[in-house]
Amino acid sequence: MAQKDLVKFVVVMSLAASGVCQTQTATAPGTPPASFERTDNSQTASSKVAIEKARAAAIYKRPMKAFQDAIAKGGVNLRVLALDGAVPVEGGLISEGRIIGAIGVSGDLSDNDAQSASAAAQELK
């Protein structure tokens, strides 16, 4: 299976397993999304949010939960808000499996988005 087909397969399977209305995308730094899937009833805004979560995780090479947690601590950590393209909402994470890149999920609570992204990343290892 080609790399792009594998990413699409994992994203589609992860969406089906989640049982909620979500949008997922997978990308690498500086590239367009390798895969983009959206369940029929997910909100339209989730499409852009998922892409931005994946892009931010890829360019900053860290899960977006790291930024979310930093902001929650307040003080000097609020500088995260000034970082270009940072999305301080859980649900974007990096994947270090066979494909180096990032997965972004949106459409549910941030905790659930993160669980779906994590499940997809585990399938790529």
From the list 31, 9, 16, the residue with the least C-alpha distance to 100 is 31
For residues 13-22, give the mean pLDDT.
Answer: 55
> Residues 96, 99, 105, CA angle at the centre, nearest 5°?
80
Q: Which helix (H) or strand (E) holds 101?
A: strand 100-106
CA–CA distance, 58 with 44 (Å, rounded to integer): 23
Please tell me the class of the 3-124 domain. alpha beta
Each domain of the chain, given as residue ranges in start order, spans: 3-124
For 106, the token pair is 């949106």
Q: pLDDT confidence of 81, banded at 50, 70, 90?
A: very high
What's the pLDDT score for residue 1?
A: 42
- Considering only 37-41, 76-80, 111-115, which range has the smallest mean pLDDT? 37-41
pLDDT tens digit sequence for 24-61 = 777 777 777 777 777 777 778 888 888 888 888 888 88
Cβ proximity of 57 and 31 under 8 Å? no
Over 80: is that where the pLDDT of 3 sits? no
From the list 87, 92, 88, the residue with the least C-alpha distance to 27 is 92
Query: Which residue in this structure is represented by tokens 């601590």?
Result: 73
